[in-house]
Amino acid sequence: MTLKSEQEMSYEHARMYRNQIVTIGDLKDFKEDLLQQLSKVVAENLKPTKKWMKSAEVRKLLSVSPGTLQGMRDRGELSYTKVGGIIFYEVKDIQKMISKNKVSAITRFAQ
C-alpha cells in the first residue's frame, strides 16, 4: 500500500464519520464499554501471578537491600516462612505491609 492510498483511505474514513450524528446515549454506551474494558485490563495486571515470593524477588519488588529486608523481618514488619534455608514471603503479606505504611498527603503536610 502506498502512502497516497493510505492518505486517501484516512480521508474516506474521516468523511464517513462527519456525516453521522453521535447522541448522548451513544457516548454513555461508549464510556461504559471503555470503563469495563479498562477495569478488566487493570484487574488482570494487578493480580499476582504467584502466592509466594523468595527474598530476591521481594528485594527487587520493593527496591531494598538484603539488610533492609532482614530488618523488616526482624522488626516484625513483614511476615515470612523459612523452609530449609530459603525464606518465602506471601504476596498478600507484602501488599498488607505496603498498605499499612501508606502515608496520605493530608497527614504528611499536617505535621
Interval 22-41: pLDDT, tens: 888 888 888 888 888 888 88
Residues 94, 101: Cα–Cα separation, whole Å: 11
Average pLDDT over residues 89-106: 86
Residues 36, 32: Cα–Cα separation, whole Å: 6
Residues 54, 87: Cα–Cα separation, whole Å: 6
This prediction's pTM: 0.51
Residues 58, 47: Cα–Cα separation, whole Å: 16
* Most confident by average pLDDT, 2-6, 19-23, 35-39: 35-39
